[in-house]
Amino acid sequence: MELLEVPKPDGSGPLRFFIDILLLLSKTMIVAIALILFVVGWNQYLWPLMISTSENFTTLILGIRTARGYQGFAIVVLALLPLTSSHLLSKTICQRIARSPQVVKNG
């Protein structure tokens, strides 16, 4: 109940409580969920394979399957950029996730 009673002395309403307190405390969880959903969406392969009927309208993942030589290498590098960047940022994200409950306890 302490967290719900914080904005009452200031005269803040429920919307201000949601924006100032709840969103700030759950920011790292929202980022973690967004990254997980991004990786899941990035790795989906079957749906574009079933839908695309022409090679002119394929996704990047399907382009890897059909590309040959240096073109295939370039497509693989482009496909790995988001996953590599999320891996490089994962240490920072994990530290923020681990630190967020301490903010609630000590705040």
Tens digits of per-residue pLDDT, 7-35? 666 677 777 777 777 788 888 888 889 98
Number of domains forming the structure of the chain: 1
Most confidently modeled of 4-8, 38-42, 100-104?
Answer: 38-42
Other beta carbons within 10 angstroms of residue 28's beta carbon come to 19
Least confident of 50-54, 56-60, 99-103: 99-103
Report which of 107, 94, 95 is spatially closest to residue 25, judged by C-alpha positions. Answer: 107
User: Residue 107 — very low, low, confident or very high, per pLDDT cuts 50/70/90?
Assistant: very low
Which pTM was predicted?
0.42
- Average predicted confidence (pLDDT) for the chain: 76
Q: Nearest 5°: CA angle at 104, between 36 and 31?
A: 15
Q: Nearest 5°: CA angle at 76, between 74 and 82?
A: 110
- Quote the tokens at residue 2: 């302490």
Q: Domain of 95?
A: 2-106
